[in-house]
Amino acid sequence: MGFHSEAELNRKFVETTKLMNVYLNHFSKYEKYALCQSIRSAMYEVYGLIVETQKRYHKKTTLSLLDIRHEQFRMFVNLAHSLGYFAFKDGKGNAGKDIAAHRFLAISRLIDELGRMIGGWIVSDRQREAS
């Protein structure tokens, strides 16, 4: 993955984080220190692993950890959607199903795009090691 691609991955991650933090601020108050914290933790660990991978010469292990943590992040967000937390507004469940679906779709697209970029990085690293 070249410098430009890494910069694009960083930009996409920041965009995802900004949106996810807005949504997390609306989650139910009793989830602020449970699922919200797990989502934030996974999200920030993904970023930490992106930076770490960019700095390592041998990237295989760190890329594997990044891929795993990204999937955990995705699954936490899917769990929040399944539990109906995207329908909350200011800690109360009154935003509606349409808004919940829109929020989940918007964040899912960003998370999926991050996953595709990480997957491309993994393929690129394998090709680099093979040559």
Question: Nearest-CA neighbor of 36 among 57, 22, 49, 47?
Answer: 22
Give the residue-averaged pLDDT of 80-105: 85
Nearest to 50 by CA among 1, 4, 10: 10
**Residue 97 predicted with pLDDT over 90:** no
CATH code of the domain made up of 3-130: 1.20.1440.60
Interacting residues of 121 by C-beta distance below 8 A, sequence separation 6+ = 1, 5, 9, 53, 63
Q: How confident is the model at residue 4 (pLDDT cuts 50, 70, 90)?
A: very low
The Cα–Cα gap between 51 and 130 comes to 24
- 54-64 in b/e form (b: 16+ CB < 10 A) is beeeebeebbe
pLDDT single digits (tens) 56-67: 888 999 999 999
Q: What tokens appear for 6 in the block?
A: 């890494």
Residue 3 has pLDDT above 70, yes or no: no
User: What does pTM read for this prediction?
Assistant: 0.89
